[in-house]
Amino acid sequence: MAYRDSTAEKTTITRDLDVSSQQAEGNIYESIVVFSKRADQINTELKEELSSKLEEFASTTDNLEEIFENREQIEVSRFYERLPKPGSMAVQEFEEAKVTWKTKEE
């Protein structure tokens, strides 16, 4: 998914839990579980993406004298720090009905 284009909030906002629970047939606990599991998925994907990009800058030597700052590496890290949090992205996807889930009964 294109997390770079996410329009999720970057700060904490108040949400109406009744609206969020309507998609989960009125069960607020089920909707919270869906939020958290989707946030974990997003977080894992972002970590893997960031790690793969930072591997390009990794040095093979393990010498303290050769440690230096790489501007490109810093910019990549800052970009990922500025992204909305995975929890905000998960809630936004849930509210836009982009998330599907199954229960054990199904």
Question: What pLDDT does 100 receive?
Answer: 80
For residue range 54-88, list pLDDT tens digits in order: 888 776 665 555 556 677 888 888 888 888 888 88
* Three-class secondary structure assignment of the chain: CCHHHCCCCCCCCCCCHHHHHHCCCCCHHHHHHHHHHHHHHHHHHHHHHHHHHHHCCCCCCCCHHHCCCCHHHHHHHHHHHHCCCHHHHHHHHHHCCCCCCCCCCC
Verdict on whether the full-model pTM lies above 0.95: no
For residue range 1-54, list pLDDT tens digits in order: 566 667 777 777 777 776 666 666 777 888 888 889 999 999 999 999 988 888
Question: What pLDDT does 60 receive?
Answer: 62
